[in-house]
Amino acid sequence: MKSDNKRIRLLALTGMLTALVTVATIAIRIPTATKGYINLGDTAVNISAWILGGFYGGIAGGIGSLMADILSGCYIYAPATLIIKFLMPVCCHGVYKKCSDKYSQLTASIISAIVSELIMIVGYDIFTGFAYKSVYSAFTALPEFIVQGIAGGTFSVILYECIIKRVPVLKKH
């Protein structure tokens, strides 16, 4: 019975974090000089990894971000988003686990967020180059991805370390 309750709770948290990723990606858009926008979706993606672990965090990050792309009309990015935003929490969680054995939780959070955001930057930049069949497009989009990565990584570490990890119901499962 206890195992069933834990599974139900994990699935409920996964659903809630999937919705949070979608809303954080769509609701808060900060325009950039490259005519794109920075969003707080990566913040929720990284936090999903730290709360849910790699696989379920990947589900929340991948599906939540995919839904945001579809609802925003950014269909061209949707397939890449699903893969990139699934891989981010998987790697983020793996790096966090490895680093937390050697370093403080804060340091582990920072390092894992950096790795996660590097996956986003490289993944979207490669996809942009292929999608537009242009190295120039990939090169010009890179600064936007870097700014988004810095914002997502920074906000995720601050929110997680200062608030979220102190909420008992959200402790890692």
Q: How confident is the model at residue 137 (pLDDT cuts 50, 70, 90)?
A: confident
Query: What pLDDT, in 10s, does the model give residues 141-165?
Result: 899 899 999 999 999 999 999 998 8
pLDDT for position 79: 95
Query: What pLDDT, in 10s, does the model give residues 12-48?
Result: 999 999 999 999 999 988 876 655 678 899 999 999 9
For residue 168, pLDDT over 90 is answered with no
Q: What is the residue type of 119?
A: I
* C-alpha–C-alpha distance, residues 105 and 97, integer Å: 9
Please choose, from the candidates 61, 70, 15, 44, the residue with its C-alpha nearest in 3D space to the C-alpha of residue 151. Answer: 44
* C-alpha–C-alpha distance, residues 118 and 87, integer Å: 11
Q: How confident is the model at residue 134 (pLDDT cuts 50, 70, 90)?
A: confident
Query: How far is CA 85 from each of CA 43, 122, 146, rounded to the nearest angstrom?
Result: 11, 12, 15
Query: What pLDDT, in 10s, does the model give residues 115-130?
Result: 999 999 999 999 999 9
Q: Is 78 exposed, middle or buried (0-12, 13-18, 19+ CB in 10 A)?
A: middle
Query: How far is CA 89 from each of CA 58, 116, 138, rounded to the nearest angstrom?
Result: 5, 7, 24
The CATH number of domain 2-170, selected from 1.10.443.10, 1.25.40.10, 1.10.10.60, 1.10.1760.20 = 1.10.1760.20
For residue 173, pLDDT over 50 is answered with no
* C-alpha–C-alpha distance, residues 91 and 85, integer Å: 10
pLDDT for position 51: 95
For residue 1, pLDDT over 60 is answered with no
Return the SS3 of 31: strand
Query: What pLDDT, in 10s, does the model give residues 52-100?
Result: 999 999 999 999 999 999 998 888 889 999 999 999 999 999 999 999 9
pLDDT more than 70, % of the chain: 93
Q: Are 20 and 55 in contact (CB under 8 A)?
A: no
pLDDT for position 35: 58
Return the SS3 of 30: strand
Written as one string, the DSSP assignment of 83-131 is HHHHHHHHHHHHHHHHHHHHS-HHHHHHHHHHHHHHHHHHHHHHHHHHH
pLDDT for position 33: 63
